């Protein structure tokens, strides 16, 4: 594929989005299979996930060995979202964007804002609709027709029929293409042995899928036979040149992603947000002489794995040296740290093991009680409680930094996007500033804090949250740092000051 100058105002990025009428239609399975097919063909694909999902990008990464990135219009708006896409796609042969939920499902449940449809429009990406055809025959046509006509600019150029028999596919393809203005690009037969299992927060983790690489290879071999791969590549190649604002396109990406096997235990810098950082008054980038490095311990293992790659990159750009450690397996914290970060994950599945690592719990308690600045989100916040209930209802001692306990409520609580403002002076987020985030959890804590105020973009629901102070913030919201880099700057400044003492 012919690559153009990616620093130009308009650039050609072959790309497609795999969307669906609803969750559970097979988007992730088809996306992962396609990524494997393209890699097997010797192409260099990259992947993106629409929305705030953490788990689907982990499966993408297992296929390609390089990070998958999130594109979210609520967090970053159209201009920066296009720039994030362009940076990630700048040296790829083709980009696959996986949609979220149903194609038109957006924030608030009654809007298309931040939906797959809106992202496809913002990035001018052709859409392939993956339709779960199980239990349907002719009814597939009005379903597809509805998605084509609900918005005249849907961008849907092709469909894939999932869970349909080879015997039925030929006649359904002929009927769809006869009556609807869309190309049928293949099918995926019922293959229970290739399905991905789910649990309360979504798909199981990639590391829990037995023989995942073999399963992905079998899936790729199947899709080579049942999908029109050349037609899909043609669809991606017909994507219009993407218009990128010059001010958001400064600092061209000059590095190919590093394969996972060559980058174990390391975090890689991809300057997707450098121009935004440099334009913010008072914000320092790691390339500046006055941006002193500070070492930040970041919890990362099977229990704490929900983290945006863009957040890690922004920390590094602003002067953080990331030292990953495992509260599950390690017995010693990284040395010479100025701060700590605990991201979300599945600590409830590892409550006994986390509790049993008493030496680590004790070190974390001592560090944070002695003033080490820290951030904690969702599962990380649960780990810092005095105790946590596991999935069987047993209660285990945790780090004890925050008074209270984490318990399973059995239902989603405070689900969705929120905008955070500080309720009190003396926080990392001063009054008048905001940072964007989302919540998605079945657990709750007896004391969630009142330092910040969260408000949903639609529906009017709002609540107080986060236990905070001048050098820490701990609560259920997952923060997206690029929505306010000053928040990160203040945290790192507190870490530098602590380290210098």
E strand residue ranges, 196-249 = 198-199, 202-203, 242-243
- Which one-letter DSSP state was computed for residue 227? B
Length of the chain: 501
Are the beta carbons of 41 and 446 closer than 8 angstroms? no
- Reference 136, options 165, 101, 99; nearest CA is 165
Strands 344-345 and 304-306: antiparallel
Within 8 A by CB and 6+ apart from 279, the residues are 247
The three-state secondary structure class of 274 is: helix
**Cα separations (Å) of 480 from 153, 209, 310, 436?**
29, 28, 8, 6
Within 8 A by CB and 6+ apart from 36, the residues are 63, 216, 217, 219, 220
Q: Report the C-alpha gap between 296 and 323 in whole angstroms.
A: 6
Q: Phi and psi dihedrals of 179, rounded to 5? A: -105, -15
Beta bridge partners of 95: 15, 46
The three-state secondary structure class of 395 is: strand
Are the beta carbons of 173 and 141 closer than 8 angstroms? no
Q: What amino acid positions are annotated as catalytic residues?
A: 378
Within 8 A by CB and 6+ apart from 131, the residues are 20, 21, 25, 140, 143, 144, 159, 160, 161, 162
The three-state secondary structure class of 461 is: coil
- Reference 245, options 122, 80, 114; nearest CA is 80
**Cα separations (Å) of 191 from 2, 210, 251?**
36, 16, 45
């Amino acid at each position: 594929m012919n690559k153009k100058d990616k620093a130009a105002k308009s650039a050609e990025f072959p790309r497609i989005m795999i969307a669906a009428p609803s969750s559970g239609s097979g988007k992730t399975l088809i996306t992962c299979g396609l990524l494997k097919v393209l890699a097997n063909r010797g192409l260099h694909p990259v992947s993106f996930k629409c929305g705030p999902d953490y788990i689907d990008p982990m499966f993408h990464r297992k296929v390609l060995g390089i990070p998958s990135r999130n594109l979210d219009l609520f967090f970053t708006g159209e201009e920066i979202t296009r720039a994030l896409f362009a940076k990630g796609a700048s040296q790829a042969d083709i980009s696959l964007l996986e949609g979220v939920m149903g194609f038109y499902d957006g924030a608030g449940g009654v809007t298309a804002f931040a939906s797959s449809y809106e992202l496809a429009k913002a990035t001018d990406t052709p859409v392939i609709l993956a339709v779960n055809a199980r239990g349907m025959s002719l009814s597939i046509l009005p379903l597809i027709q509805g998605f084509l006509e609900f918005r005249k600019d849907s961008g849907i150029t092709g469909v894939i029929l999932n869970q349909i028999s080879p015997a039925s596919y030929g006649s359904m393809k002929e009927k769809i293409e006869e009556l609807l203005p869309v190309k049928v690009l293949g099918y995926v037969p019922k293959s229970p042995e290739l399905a991905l299992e789910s649990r309360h927060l979504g798909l199981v983790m990639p590391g829990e899928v037995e023989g995942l690489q073999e399963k992905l290879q079998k899936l790729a071999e199947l899709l080579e036979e049942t999908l029109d791969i050349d037609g899909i590549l043609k669809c991606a190649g017909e994507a219009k040149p993407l218009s990128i604002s010059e001010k958001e396109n400064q600092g061209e990406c000059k590095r190919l992603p590093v394969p996972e096997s060559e980058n174990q235990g390391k975090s890689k810098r991809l300057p997707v947000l450098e121009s935004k950082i440099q334009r913010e008054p008072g914000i320092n980038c790691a390339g500046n002489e006055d941006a002193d490095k500070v070492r930040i311990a970041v919890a990362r293992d099977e229990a704490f794995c929900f983290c945006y790659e863009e957040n890690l990159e922004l920390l590094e750009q602003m002067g953080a040296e990331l030292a990953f450690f495992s509260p599950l397996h390690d017995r010693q914290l990284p040395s010479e740290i100025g701060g700590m970060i605990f991201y979300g994950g599945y600590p409830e599945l590892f409550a006994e093991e986390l509790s049993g690592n008493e030496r680590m719990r004790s070190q974390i308690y001592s560090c944070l009680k002695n003033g080490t600045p820290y951030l904690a989100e969702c599962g990380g916040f649960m780990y810092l409680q005095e105790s946590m209930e596991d999935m069987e209802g047993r209660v285990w001692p945790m780090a004890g930094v925050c008074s209270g306990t984490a318990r399973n409520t059995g239902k989603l609580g405070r689900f969705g996007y929120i905008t955070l403002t500080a309720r009190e002076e003396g926080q990392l987020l001063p009054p008048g500033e905001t940072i964007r985030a989302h919540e998605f959890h079945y657990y709750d804590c007896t004391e969630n804090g009142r330092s910040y105020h969260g408000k949903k973009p639609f529906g009017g629901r709002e609540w107080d949250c986060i236990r905070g102070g001048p050098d820490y913030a701990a609560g259920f919201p997952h923060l997206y740092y690029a929505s306010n880099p000053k928040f990160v700057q203040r945290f790192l400044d507190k870490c530098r000051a602590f380290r210098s003492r």
